[in-house]
Structure 1
Amino acid sequence: MSAGDTVSFLLGMVGWVLTGVCLGHHQWKVSTLDGSVITTSTIYENLWMSCASDSTGVYNCRDFLSLFGLSDYVRASQALMIISIILGFFAAIITLFGLQCIQFGTSDPVAKARIASGGGALFIVAALTAMVPVSWYAFNITRQFYDVLYPGTKFELGPALYIGWAGGALQLIGGICLCLACKRATGATGEYAYKYRAPRSSLRPVSRNYPSEVDNSSNYGKNAYV
């Protein structure tokens, strides 16, 4: 399974990097142009700050003044995204030690498969903890956009959310592939499954049939004795 677990590890790593890019991206939500005739500035926010840019491209950002002044879903999204980054880091380290091509630590293929399977499980958890806040954030943006009684600025989905979904999906696929590959490698009984085929030989064993001992005295008649 050396090729399969390596590809799965790379998928998880790419997804982890995209999750980090999503966390630091400025545009989680962007102010909508729907219903605006003249737009002089664009407002966009992420989990940590709010920015505004004018038509000339000059922008200014300010951090949120108080953590407790934010909405509950924003604070929960901050915590879940940080947890996802940490879990993805440990998943990558554990999976790296479980790769068959890495000659470090144990060389037992069963132990390698179990280590890689543990890393794959962590990739799955990291993917879920990244996709939940991204989806939750997008749900609130959509709900406020279609709420006719909402008095504040309405926003649309920013590019950071799509990056977060892509990163979570890649981590999820990589983790599932790692778990499935390691399950096939260890087999149903928990032992490393491999097929052994004896080498074929062109020489066939020759069976030799030796004649049984025969009483030669029966071949002589009584007249042969004096």
Structure 2
Amino acid sequence: MGNMTAEIVAFILTMSGWILVSSTLPTDYWKVSSVDGTVITTATFWSNLWKTCVTDSTGVSNCKDFPSMLALDAYIQVCRALMIASVCLGFFGAVLALVGMKCTRIGGSQTAKARLAGLSGIHFILNGLCSLTACSLYARRITSEFFDPLFFAQKFELGAALFIGWAGSVLCILGGLIFCLSCSEGFSRVKDSYSGSTSMVTKRHKGFYQPPGFTGPQDPAENSRQFGKNAYV
């Protein structure tokens, strides 16, 4: 029951993290910068992995999609690839978790289900690592430009999407670790039960089976010799 509860908790954590990571991919505010006036903010510049936009004080936004993937900066291409890979890994991890959890009726034997649960945990850990790397790489570029005194272009700050991505990555990694630990615990229980049954069978088939409280000779050869002596009495 404890192992099943751990798998349910891990599934909730990983699915929550995967939803958060997936939501950061189309989120607008990966980096934000504002131009302040004397009273109100006159314009807000923001950008994500797909476009860059500006929003004026009236709330009207003008966006421009990135013209060509080959003309993009290398870090944006890497972040795109990592985020897409993270979403795909989370999807396959969710499918494997549904099949490998003990509370489901599919997946085969307990050993096979434990293997599938461990494999789903590996998928979720990779999912979290990919999204964590993408968000950290994007944030590092923002901070390096912000604190660079020789960078005279418009400087940006960290957007909300990065914090959501970091939170989702941590949840995915924690849930994946719990899946892996529950998998190893299940394998150890199966191994212990198998070794216990094997030892019992070995004891039962080693020579003649002796009932409890039997005090006669234990060696079969001694039994035959004793029978030979009694035959001539």
Give, in angstroms, the shift of residue 88 of structure 1: 0.5
Q: Which residue of 2 aligns with 1:176?
A: 177
% identity of equivalent residues = 42
Runs of 4+ in 1 over 6 A off after TM superposition: none
Matched, 1:148 2:177: no
Q: Which residue of 2 aligns with 1:86?
A: 88
Change (3 A) 1:69 1:9: same
Q: Which residue of 2 aligns with 1:224?
A: none
Change (3 A) 1:69 1:193: farther
Give, in angstroms, the shift of residue 151 of structure 1: 2.0
Question: Secondary structure of the residue that 1:153 maps to in structure 2?
Answer: coil
Q: Which residue of 1 aligns with 2:191?
A: 191
Q: Indicate if the aligned counterparts of 2:100 and 2:107 stay in contact, CA closer than 8 A.
A: no
Give, in angstroms, the shift of residue 37 of structure 1: 4.9
Q: Which residue of 2 aligns with 1:200?
A: none
Q: Which residue of 1 aligns with 2:55?
A: 53
* 1: CA distance, partners of 2:131 / 2:5: 27
The alignment's C-alpha RMSD in Å is 2.3
Question: Secondary structure of the residue that 2:182 maps to in structure 1?
Answer: helix
The structure whose RCO (Cα within 8 Å, separation 6+) is larger is 1
Q: Which residue of 1 aligns with 2:17?
A: 15
Long gaps (5+) in structure 1 = 197-206, 208-226
* 2: CA distance, partners of 1:193 / 1:158: 52
* 2: CA distance, partners of 1:15 / 1:173: 9
Q: Indicate if the aligned counterparts of 2:45 and 2:53 stay in contact, CA closer than 8 A.
A: yes
Matching of residues 119-134 of structure 1 within 5 Å? 119-134=120-135
Q: Indicate if the aligned counterparts of 1:32 and 1:154 stay in contact, CA closer than 8 A.
A: no
Q: Which residue of 2 aligns with 1:202?
A: none
Q: Which residue of 1 aligns with 2:112?
A: 111
Change (3 A) 1:158 1:192: farther
Q: Indicate if the aligned counterparts of 1:8 and 1:178 stay in contact, CA closer than 8 A.
A: yes
Give, in angstroms, the shift of residue 193 of structure 1: 5.4
The count of residues paired between Structure 1 and Structure 2 equals 195
Q: Which residue identity does 1:131 align to in structure 2?
A: L
Q: Which residue identity does 1:87 align to in structure 2?
A: L
Give, in angstroms, the shift of residue 192 of structure 1: 6.4
Q: Indicate if the aligned counterparts of 2:107 and 2:113 stay in contact, CA closer than 8 A.
A: no
Q: Which residue of 2 aligns with 1:69?
A: 71
* 2: CA distance, partners of 1:62 / 1:12: 34
Q: Which residue identity does 1:65 align to in structure 2?
A: P
Q: Indicate if the aligned counterparts of 1:9 and 1:95 stay in contact, CA closer than 8 A.
A: yes
Residue deviations 1:102-121 (CA, integer Å, cap 9, x gap)? 10131x22221111010001
Give, in angstroms, the shift of residue 152 of structure 1: 1.2
TM-score (norm. length: structure 1): 0.80
* 2: CA distance, partners of 1:147 / 1:118: 43
Q: Indicate if the aligned counterparts of 2:34 and 2:43 stay in contact, CA closer than 8 A.
A: no
* 2: CA distance, partners of 1:15 / 1:91: 12
Long gaps (5+) in structure 2 = 197-212, 214-233
Question: Secondary structure of the residue that 2:25 maps to in structure 1?
Answer: helix
